[in-house]
Amino acid sequence: MSEERAGETIICRCRDVTEEEIVEAIHQGYDTMELVKRKTKVGTGTCGGRTCLPLVQRILAREKGVNLTEIDLPRERAPIVPLPIRYVAGEEGRSSR
């Protein structure tokens, strides 16, 4: 692949983020996985980053000139789901009267 087309490579299919956008963010100072994720929204799509985050990790290591093992993946955060208070109170199996 030519260098001209390398930047057009889509890294995050869920958010349509290209390699060029990721490299640009890194050069702007977003130099950790967490910061790249916040800047580009890579890894926040329906796949949860299973496809793109390892690719971003490689790009970040390449651009920073470090070993891949030195690049930590971003923190995982559980989705926030509201729960009815009855579950917290231990009443999930009781019928309401």
Which residue range forms the structural domain that includes residue 24?
Answer: 3-88
For residue 17, is it within any domain? Answer: yes
Whether 7 is covered by a domain: the verdict is yes
In a domain, 78, yes or no: yes
Phi, psi of 50 (to 5 degrees): -60, -35
Is residue 29 included in any domain, yes or no? Answer: yes
Establish if 76 belongs to a structural domain: yes
CATH number of the domain enclosing 50: 1.10.10.1100
Cα(73)–Cα(34) distance, integer angstroms: 7
Helix residue spans in the chain (DSSP H): 3-6, 19-27, 33-40, 53-64, 85-88
Q: Please, which residues have CB within 8 angstroms of residue 46's CB and are 6 or more apart in sequence? A: 14
Q: Look at the chain and count its residues.
A: 97
Arithmetic mean of pLDDT over the chain? 86
Q: Is residue 96 part of a domain?
A: no
Residue 95 belongs to some domain of the structure: no
**DSSP bridge partners of 6:** none
Q: Express each pLDDT in 33-75 by its tens digit.
A: 999 999 999 999 988 889 999 999 999 999 999 999 999 988 7
Q: Which residue has the tokens 């989705």?
A: 79
Residue 87 binned pLDDT confidence (cut-offs 50, 70, 90): confident
What is the number of structural domains in the chain?
1
Distance between first and last Cα of the chain = 68
Whether this prediction's pTM lies above 0.95 is answered by no
pLDDT at 95 > cutoff 60: no
Can you give the pLDDT at residue 3?
A: 57
The answer as to whether 33 is a domain residue is: yes
Tell me the pLDDT tens digit for each residue of 3-36. 556 558 999 999 999 999 999 999 999 999 999 9
